[in-house]
Amino acid sequence: MSKYIVEDARKVTTRRVIEMKRKGEKIAMLTAYDYTMASIIDASGIDIILVGDSASNVMAGNVTTLPITLDQMIYHAKSVVRGVKRALVVADMPFGTYQVNADEAVKNAIRIMKETHADALKLEGGEEILPSIRKILDAGIPIMGHLGLTPQSINKFGTYGVRAKDEAEAAKLCHDARLLQEAGCFALVLEKIPAHLGTKVAESLEIPVIGIGAGGGVDGQVLVCTDMLGMTADFTPRFLRRYADLNSIIGDAVGNYISDVKAKDFPNESEQY
C-alpha cells in the first residue's frame, strides 16, 4: 500500500466519504477505465475511482460523452473493479440510460451494479431526473450527483464554458444540489463553475461536494486520469494541473524501442531463448 494512504487501509464506503467531510478531510478522486490503471491508482491510495463516461472521449476517441453505450460502460467498470482493493468505485450511467423514465433508469442501474460490482453510480442533472434518482436510491443503489457543466447535455449548452455564472443558473444549481441531498445522494460532483459558488454549495450541504474546476472551497477534487498524467497533450483547461508528462515519456520510450529494433539492438543475447 502507498505512503499516501492516510491511516486507513480499509475499503472506502459511501459512509466513509460523508465522514471524511464531517472531519474536514479532503477527498481525492480520479477516473480510471481499465484494470491496469485502476490497480496503480488504487495502490497509490486514492479515495474514489470514477469510471467516467469520459471513457467515450479518452478511450474511444469520440468528441463527446454521448455515444458511449451501457455495454461499453459495463465493460470499463468491470475491468476497473477487478483492479481495485480499497477505493470506492463509482460508475457513470451513460447518456440515454436514465433520462427516459424512472423504470428504465432503475433497470439499467441494477444491470450495472449486478454485472460490474461497482459500489455506486453517478448521474448528471438535478430536478429533471429526480424521479429516476429516487427510484434508483429506493433500490438500494448509492448515487453521486453531478451538476454544473454536465457533458451529456453539451448539445443543449453549446459550449464547454464555465456554467452558473449568472444568478438564475447559480440559484437553480443551489436548488438542485439541495434536492439531490434531500433525495439521498451520498455525494455531488460540481463541474466548471465559479469557485465562490462551489464553496457556497459545499458549505450549505452535509454530503461531500467534489469539484472539477469548482475551486478549492469544496470537499474534494476529481480529475480525468489521462489529463492529470499528461497523456492528453492538447487538452489545457485552466483547472487542470498536470502531475506527469506521460505523453513525452511514452513517446520517447516508443521512439527508443523503434530505434533499437531498426538497429538490430533489440533483442540482445540475454533477451532471447
By annotation, the residues acting in catalysis are 191
User: Taking CB under 6 A as the criterion, which residues in 19-48 touch ligand KIV?
Assistant: 31
Cβ 94 to ligand KIV shortest distance, Å: 10
The residue at minimum Cβ distance from ligand KIV is 52
Pick from 141, 31, 142, 122: nearest CA to 84: 31
Cβ 272 to ligand KIV shortest distance, Å: 43
Q: Stretches 40-48, 51-59, 95-103, 197-205: which one binds ligand KIV (CB under 6 A)?
A: 51-59
Residues in the interface with ligand KIV (CB under 6 A) total 11
Is residue 52 a contact point for ligand KIV (CB under 6 A)?
Answer: yes
Pick from 152, 175, 132, 186: nearest CA to 22: 186
Q: How far from chain centre, in Å, is Cα 127?
A: 21
Is residue 190 a contact point for ligand KIV (CB under 6 A)?
Answer: no
E-assigned strand segments in the chain: 27-31, 48-51, 88-92, 120-122, 143-148, 187-191, 209-212, 220-223
Residue pair 213/192 in contact by the 8 Å Cβ criterion:
yes
Is residue 222 a contact point for ligand KIV (CB under 6 A)?
Answer: yes
Looking up cell 454544473 gives 148
CA angle 149, 153, 157 (to 5 degrees): 70
Which position among 187, 189, 190, 209 is part of the footprint of ligand KIV (CB under 6 A)? 189
Residues that bind ligand KIV (CB under 6 A): 31, 50, 52-54, 92, 189, 191, 212, 222, 224
